[in-house]
Structure 1
Amino acid sequence: MKPTALGDRVLGKADAPVTIVEYASMTCPHCAAFHAETWPALKTQYIDTGKARFIFREFPLDPLAAAASMLARCAPEDKYYDMIDLFFDHQREWAYTDKPLDALQNMAKQAGFTQMSFEACLTNQKLLDGINAEKDQALSKFGVNSTPTFFVNGQKLVGEQTIESMGKAITDAAAKASK
């Protein structure tokens, strides 16, 4: 599960016994539901306590999802997960409108982007290529073909997960890691 050249943005302690990798699309309603319903408990109970660390990897299903992923990557590194949360929390307000780029731009401005930095980010071909390489690796090497897809110490979980299913996977992975 090595990262591509794009690199990973990791939440949690480096020495956590369990690593959770999520592949998600910013326009995926199931991904947004996971981040609304399961993510807060997962973060509080497992990531903030050092039981697991979390890696979000981009798997855009359309150009609009790629644009949102690019904007999150262009934000300061310590604001990356804040941007992911912002885009998922307000997905209906930007992903399903007549002018989605205007809505994304308004959200990005709230996060400190200027018109110039917004445009520079969305025209950064190297960044787009990196995000696409991450998606290609997930498809070809890890068998990801839908979002969200999670790997908990390598165990694949497909689809929106509850805190109970994530907790079981983390507990099982931690038990295997301690052997």
Structure 2
Amino acid sequence: MTPPHPILNRRLPTRRTLLAAAALAPWAAPAATRAQGSAPLPDAPPLPERSAGSEDAPMVVTEYFSLTCNHCAHFHLETWPRVREAFVDTGRIRLVWRDFPLDELALEAAQIARALPGDAYEPFIRALFASQERWAFDRDADKFDELAKLAALAGMQRWQVEAALENDDLRRAVLRSRLEGERERGVTRTPTFFFDDRRAAGALSFERFASFVSG
């Protein structure tokens, strides 16, 4: 049996655990404190854009989401396919995904997703959302093993999954995405959408999403 990966199946505090706790600490601070920008943004290279749709689309929709958020899963599984067909494939919008991990597990799942080539990103996050109950909420599941199995279907070998989790630049970049969302755009929950500059939060129905595109 493969031993649990030390990152996703921690038992004793390690240097990495303590670093992660320090990085995640600002998320637990009161909203007023976060708004003041008291915690510095992690120094990290920018993440490559992950998006769907034409760069010439007249509207850019930005979604802040967490891979352990069940509302995000509902949107991606129930609403997103219709949105893609009606608005992305027809050239009306380009949807840009921004990481807003709500917890440590979401952060590490995002690291794995971001390590994939751009054309594999959307299918992988869809697979994560479709199996979220198993890898995110099953207390008996080996988190690393479940994520590694899903990543294998996207073409990643186990060593590549481990490398993504050990990549501190990637980790800081995902953290920075969340903190920038909080400070620069006032995001406090997932999913949150920006239709150009108009904000909408929650697992939008297709009809509500369409009203923002048309309005």
TM (normalized to structure 2)? 0.76
1:175 corresponds in structure 2 to none
Query: Mind listing any 5+ residue stretches in structure 2 that lack a counterpart?
Result: 1-44
Q: How large is the RMSD of aligned CA atoms in angstroms?
A: 1.1
**How far does the alpha carbon of each residue in 1:99-135 deviate from its partner, in whole angstroms, 9 at most, with x for none?**
2222111111222211211100111100010000010
C-alpha displacement of 1:151:
0.3
2:210 corresponds in structure 1 to 167
2:192 corresponds in structure 1 to 149
C-alpha displacement of 1:7:
3.1
Q: Which amino acid aligns with 2:136?
A: A
**More deviation, 92-101/18-27:** 92-101
**Does the residue aligned with 2:189 lie in a helix, a strand or coil?**
coil
1:58 corresponds in structure 2 to 99
**Identity rate, percent:** 37
1:70 corresponds in structure 2 to 111
**Does the residue aligned with 2:128 lie in a helix, a strand or coil?**
helix
**Does the residue aligned with 1:38 lie in a helix, a strand or coil?**
helix
Cα separation, 2, equivalents of 1:150 and 1:84: 17
1:124 to 154, 167, 188: 167
Report whether the alignment pairs 1:23 with 2:57: no
1:89 to 130, 133, 144: 130
**More deviation, 54-63/97-106:** 97-106
2:51 corresponds in structure 1 to 10
Cα separation, 2, equivalents of 1:127 and 1:80: 15
Aligned length: 169
TM (normalized to structure 1)? 0.91
C-alpha displacement of 1:8:
1.5
Cα separation, 2, equivalents of 1:81 and 1:107: 13
Query: Mind listing any 5+ residue stretches in structure 1 that lack a counterpart?
Result: 173-179
1:176 corresponds in structure 2 to none
Report whether the alignment pairs 1:39 with 2:99: no
**Does the residue aligned with 2:187 lie in a helix, a strand or coil?**
coil
Cα separation, 2, equivalents of 1:78 and 1:39: 17
Q: Which amino acid aligns with 1:122?
A: L
Contact 2:62 2:97 (8 Å CA) reproduced: yes
Q: Structure 1 segments of 4 or more deviating over 4 A?
A: none
